[in-house]
Amino acid sequence: GKEASNYYFATRSQERLVSAWPQGNLLSLINSPVFTRRTAEAEARQNVSAVLVGKNINFFLTTRDVRAGEELWFDYG
C-alpha cells in the first residue's frame, strides 16, 4: 500500500490545524465518516471504537469484521 506523507484534521479555525505528521502512527489515518459521492451511507458507518483502559490509555478496536482494503471510520466527536 501507499505510505501517507501528510494527514491533517479539519478544524473550525482558519488559523490552526491538527496534524499527525510526522509524529502520527497508523491510527492517524482513520477517517471521520463524511458522506460524499464516493462513500455510500451504508459504507460510512463507524467501524472503529475507542476503549479507555487507563487515565491516558485508549485501545482502538474494530466494532465488526473489516475487509482488507476497507476504510476505517471513527466518529471524532
- The pLDDT tens digits for 32-48 are 666 566 656 555 567 77
Residue 74 has pLDDT above 70, yes or no: yes
Percent of the chain with pLDDT over 90: 0
Stated length of the chain: 77
Q: What is the dihedral of CA 58, 60, 63, 69, to 10 degrees?
A: 170
| Predicted structure pTM score | 0.45
For residue 20, how far is the Cα from the chain centroid? 11
Instruction: Summarize the confidence of residues 5-22 as an average pLDDT.
Output: 60
What residues does 65 pair with on adjacent strands? none
